[in-house]
Amino acid sequence: MIKTRTSRRTVVKGAAWAVPAVSLASAIPAYAISNATCSSYTWTSLRGYANPTGSYSQASSDGSGSAVTVAASKHGNWNYTGQTTYSPLDLTSSGGSLILSGYVTTGVTPTLNDYGETVLAFPTTAGGPISFQICGLDSYTSSRNSTHAQYFTDMVQVSQSGNIITPSALSNATVDKTTSWTVATGTTSGCARYTVADPAVGPVTIKLGNAYGSKIPVSDRYGNTHPDQAVTLSEITCGKATPPAQHVSR
């Protein structure tokens, strides 16, 4: 559970996992054998970067001594909240997971060119496979209530060196066959599980966007000014990831 805030986040327990039916031609293989050292990372170093610039480092959590470098950027009509809490590289209140957040400018219709980008650069000595989960994928497309920002559908895309990584399992989300983005399917929070065969091959890029297909209202009848979105990036572990006991919904 993330820290309490007047927002549209709730905690949803459990997840029904399914193997995605989509298989992309450009997807990189799910597993590979590596002689390098596989490291795990629990997010502890990053917190409250309202407008992140440059790069930030997270040491491994297993004593291997290697570190992953994290950099965030925004593209098109994507914006950050400008807050020092609940911001693009913030930690969940329980620790271990990283919040990726932002929103598309009101008055425009979101496109695939409007997204926040988080890049994970692993050391050249890093081994694999490594796994992680992106949770909190949900969708609200009407003026629901005063505590839930509206008119958004979370969508994410993970790639390595330009090659799309297809989720190995999905809960309350689906892979769009046309765009290759993983898209939330409803108000119940969803998760996508990913495995990177060899993190030393190149940086892993995570994009967060809005799949809402119409113009976002400047404000709704409750005064919400923009659909603030957020998903959580779990700790990075060696090998296959396991379904979460609980995850964050927004």
What pLDDT does 78 receive?
A: 93
* Rg of the chain over all Cα atoms, to the nearest angstrom: 17
What pLDDT does 146 receive?
A: 46
What pLDDT does 240 receive?
A: 58
Cα 150 to Cα 228: distance, rounded to the nearest angstrom: 8
**Residue recorded with tokens 């409007």:** 114
- Bridge pairing between strands 182-184 and 173-175: antiparallel
Burial class (CB in 10 A: 0-12, 13-18, 19+), 188: middle
What pLDDT does 208 receive?
A: 97
What pLDDT does 86 receive?
A: 62
Q: What is the pLDDT of residues 177-196, one digit of tens each?
A: 999 999 999 889 999 999 99
What pLDDT does 83 receive?
A: 64
Burial class (CB in 10 A: 0-12, 13-18, 19+), 114: buried
**Which residue numbers in the chain have pLDDT < 50?**
1-15, 22-35, 146, 241, 243-250
Cα 179 to Cα 130: distance, rounded to the nearest angstrom: 25
What pLDDT does 182 receive?
A: 98
Q: Which residues contact 226 (CB under 8 A, 6 or more apart)?
A: 79, 103, 104, 105, 106, 149, 216
